[in-house]
Amino acid sequence: MVQYIKMLNFTHYRHLPFLFCDLCLVLWQSHSLRCTESFMKENVVEELQQLQSDNETKQKMLDILKRFHEEEETDSMDEDDSFLSEETIQKIMSGNQISIDDLSAEERKHFQRAVASGELSKLIKPWDPWWLKPSAKYISLSQDGASLVQPLVQQDSVESSENYMEGNQFHDIPPGPGTPLPPISRLSTAGPSPLLAVHLIDIIYSYCFTLRLYNGDWQSDAQESTMVLLSVSSVLGKGGQPGTVLEALLHCLEQTSSSSYRHMGGLQFGLGLLDDVISLLNLGGAALVCLLCDTQRLILAAEKELKSEKLQKSKRVEIKNKLKSAERKVYFIMCWVHEQPAEVWLSLAALVNKEKSSAVECVVSKRGAVRTETVERTGKPLIKEI
């Protein structure tokens, strides 16, 4: 169900203005009644009917309904107007599996209204990025770059080890490569470009952007997620080759502040993503390899989904070539990252932090210049005296 709400979130964003901050997801601001009813009719009912009633979906549905019922009880202590029947409430509170198909027609109608109006959005648990979790500090790969059986935890004490393992925190960290990474010299006769570190920043930013947009679950729509990734990344999506850290940051922030993504928080959201980039660089090479490996998995999943899409042959070939090119770049940089010493990432993190303020100033100044030019061209003031 959470996956369903996130899917609507992006696919039908023209009806769903929302602000995506660096630590929270605020969905569905105010709607007129007509907009809400129209949205329900066109999208909610159709998508709910397509939900698969597997165990995972049922459990998510159960969790959301349980939280929704508890919220109702808190808000209306003296009222007996819950839209859930007593039978359904008992099922929820006893922990029985339940899906949308188990609701009565009246319950389903109320539930669909709650989804469309955004009433359920506050019940979605915000995603905690894996790179900000304590366990991310202990990611470790084998000497040849392949994944170990599980990430290592520093054995300072039995207590600290147990604390990090509690709740199986490591399962949230994307696994590294399943096979050893070849030396970069085997992939290219020419030496690696000195700009690879700059290109890496572009990819890290785009990856963080995509995962935060999808609340950490790119698997809900791998193809759309990949299109977002490629639209933000100059290196993967446009064949760009930024020459400096500042140039890479500028492009990323401009994309985030563009009309396509401004509804997600604009420049403020971009600043949070730059902090994500710095955090990941400070984690070191093993974490970066895991990130790139997850990016590669995302692109490969999109390629797989593309096969079942009904597209014109020319369009399919175009998208396929774009995906293959991006996947090769990611793999090449992954192999390069694996060979770099730890101090490279600390220096790069410091450089990103240093250039962050300059990038923000440039974006703000460009935005101001565009507004001034618009006023001069139209002859209309930004503020009209009444």
Q: What is the pLDDT of residues 280-337, one digit of tens each?
A: 999 999 999 999 999 999 999 999 999 888 888 888 899 999 999 999 999 999 999 9
pLDDT of residue 166: 43
Task: Compute the average pLDDT of residues 207-236.
Answer: 93
Least confident among 44-48, 117-121, 144-148, 197-201: 44-48
Does residue 25 sit in helix, strand or coil? strand
Does residue 107 sit in helix, strand or coil? helix
Task: Compute the average pLDDT of residues 104-119.
Answer: 74
pLDDT at 377 over 60: no
Q: What is the number of alpha carbons within 13 Å of residue 385 lying toward its C-beta?
A: 0
Q: Give the confidence band of 39 by pLDDT, cuts at 50, 70, 90.
A: very low
- What are 93's two structure tokens? 């509170």
Domain spans, the chain: 2-123, 130-372
pLDDT of residue 136: 93
CB 31 within 8 A of CB 275: no
pLDDT of residue 65: 61
pLDDT of residue 11: 34
pLDDT at 2 over 60: no
CB 11 within 8 A of CB 227: no
For the chain, give the mean pLDDT: 75
- What is the tens place of the pLDDT at every residue in 4-36? 344 334 333 333 333 333 223 333 333 333 444
- What are 310's two structure tokens? 């009904």
Q: Give the confidence band of 40 by pLDDT, cuts at 50, 70, 90.
A: very low
Q: Give the confidence band of 126 by pLDDT, cuts at 50, 70, 90.
A: confident
Does residue 251 sit in helix, strand or coil? helix
pTM for this entry? 0.67
19 backbone dihedrals φ, ψ, rounded to 5°: -110, 120
Segment 361-366 long-range contacts (CB within 8 Å, at least 24 positions apart)? 362/246, 362/250, 363/250, 363/253, 363/254, 363/257, 363/267, 363/270, 364/267, 366/254
- What is the tens place of the pLDDT at every residue in 332-375? 999 999 999 999 999 999 999 999 888 888 888 776 554 444 44
3-state secondary structure 313-342: HHHHHHHHHHHHHHHHHHHHHHHHHHHCCH
Task: Compute the average pLDDT of residues 193-202.
Answer: 95
Percentage of the chain surpassing pLDDT 90? Answer: 40
CB 164 within 8 A of CB 156: no
Pick from 288, 285, 333, 327: nearest CA to 304 = 327
Output the CA–CA distances (angstroms, integers) from residue 96 to 254, 333, 374, in the order listed. Answer: 48, 47, 60
pLDDT of residue 232: 95
Beta bridge partners of 147: 141
- What is the tens place of the pLDDT at every residue in 78-87? 444 556 677 7
pLDDT of residue 97: 66
Site of tokens 């669909």: 112
CB 293 within 8 A of CB 176: yes
- Which of 85-89, 130-134, 256-260, 303-307 ranks highest by mean pLDDT? 130-134
Task: Compute the average pLDDT of residues 193-218.
Answer: 94
Does residue 19 sit in helix, strand or coil? strand
pLDDT of residue 164: 37
pLDDT of residue 125: 72
pLDDT of residue 151: 47
Site of tokens 């696919």: 11
pLDDT of residue 368: 59
3-state secondary structure 175-223: CCCCCCCCCHHHHCCCCCCCCHHHHHHHHHHHHHHHHHHCCCCHHHHHH
Q: Give the confidence band of 169 by pLDDT, cuts at 50, 70, 90.
A: low
Cβ burial of 50 (10 Å; 0-12, 13-18, 19+) is exposed
- What are 330's two structure tokens? 């990611």
